[in-house]
Structure 1
């Protein structure tokens, strides 16, 4: 029953993460395919640049909540429905699996032929739900980098790199350290095009 509950939680988390918020907002507000505009990404930053500040912020918040709810609500509901007892030593890996599923859903969404966003907001939601102190620390890194250089991509990359570092500093369990390390690498890889533009000096800034 425990294994079945975990698998169901992962599937639900994946489907929640897969909801293409940016694509839906672009279609609803402008009747456009966001993948054919701006950077071609369905994430909040491209919505911000292509459609407007308010829609971009709303998309970010929703994508954040997809990650947050995947580790706060879904495991709780499944545990209640199936009357599952998750031993303390396994609770960490249970939450990490749900959070990872939501992030994978966002990056490789089943609703858009497995091509989604870069997972920054959803990853932030997962971290915020599991380890608020680590989230706050990494978010401060994001704010500082963005304030100094005005590059969303650079801020996201460096905040992602800081995740496993803060996880070790704050003494997170093995599963969370492994999770943060893996998705730090995934975050860097998903920003390959941004890194090339940063190195060549043609990456777009958000100056206001």
Structure 2
């Protein structure tokens, strides 16, 4: 029973729409109707100022850290709890399932995990980016594809699902549903970038 309650609590923590609430408090605006329309740190910073964007980042980061500590307290898998929080952040029930990209919450969760986890995520994530750029540049020289557009974020976002699959495959007894969740979150990131 405690595991179900903990997962629900992680989802509720993750679904807290920080940027939306800060927008209402700081400027009496719906952040979704301004700037890029994204409910996240960057849009809040661009619309309301860097100090409000920083506040959103810190709170979203803290959400990720909090759910990992909640997992330790409840004896559940931190990856499960972090995945629930990030999924709820990307698809909050309070905003009709249109939330942020989950990057700050993911970063908070990764930073709160054991050193092996965040070192592995860092190495796999940036290693994937490096391999992608090398392969894409080589193919561009051959005229097979267009060269990388220089927007590291969009290219990196396309690799998040692959990186997550690799990371979970390296874990003993991989939980494939977590990899599926990573693909869902990645599709949310890509969808939000394409609709800008």
- Give the TM-score normalised by structure 2: 0.72
- State how far apart, in whole Å, the 1-side matches of 2:45 and 2:129 are: 17
**Aligned residue pairs: how many?**
176
Contiguous gaps of at least 5 residues in structure 2: 133-148
- State how far apart, in whole Å, the 1-side matches of 2:175 and 2:111 are: 12
- State how far apart, in whole Å, the 2-side matches of 1:12 and 1:32 are: 28
Which of residues 102, 117, 122 in structure 2 aligns to 1:119? 102
Which of residues 3, 22, 27 in structure 2 aligns to 1:25? 22
Residues 138-178 of structure 1 deviation map (CA, whole Å, 9 limit, x = unaligned): 56469989xx935544333334532333444xx32334565
* CA separation of 1:44 and 1:139: change in aligned 2, threshold 3 A: farther
Residues 5-51 of structure 1 deviation map (CA, whole Å, 9 limit, x = unaligned): 11011011011101111111112222211011122121122213222
Q: Does residue 134 in structure 1 map to residue 120 in structure 2?
A: yes
> Are the counterparts in 1 of residues 101 and 188 from structure 2 also a CA contact under 8 Å?
yes
Q: Report what 1:96 is aligned to.
A: 79
SS in 2 for 1:174: coil
Q: Report what 1:174 is aligned to.
A: 173
> Are the counterparts in 2 of residues 167 and 177 from structure 1 also a CA contact under 8 Å?
yes
Contiguous gaps of at least 5 residues in structure 1: 80-90, 198-202, 204-208
Q: Report what 2:57 is aligned to.
A: 60
Q: Report what 1:164 is aligned to.
A: 165
Q: Report what 2:135 is aligned to.
A: none
- State how far apart, in whole Å, the 2-side matches of 1:6 and 1:167 are: 21
SS in 2 for 1:188: helix
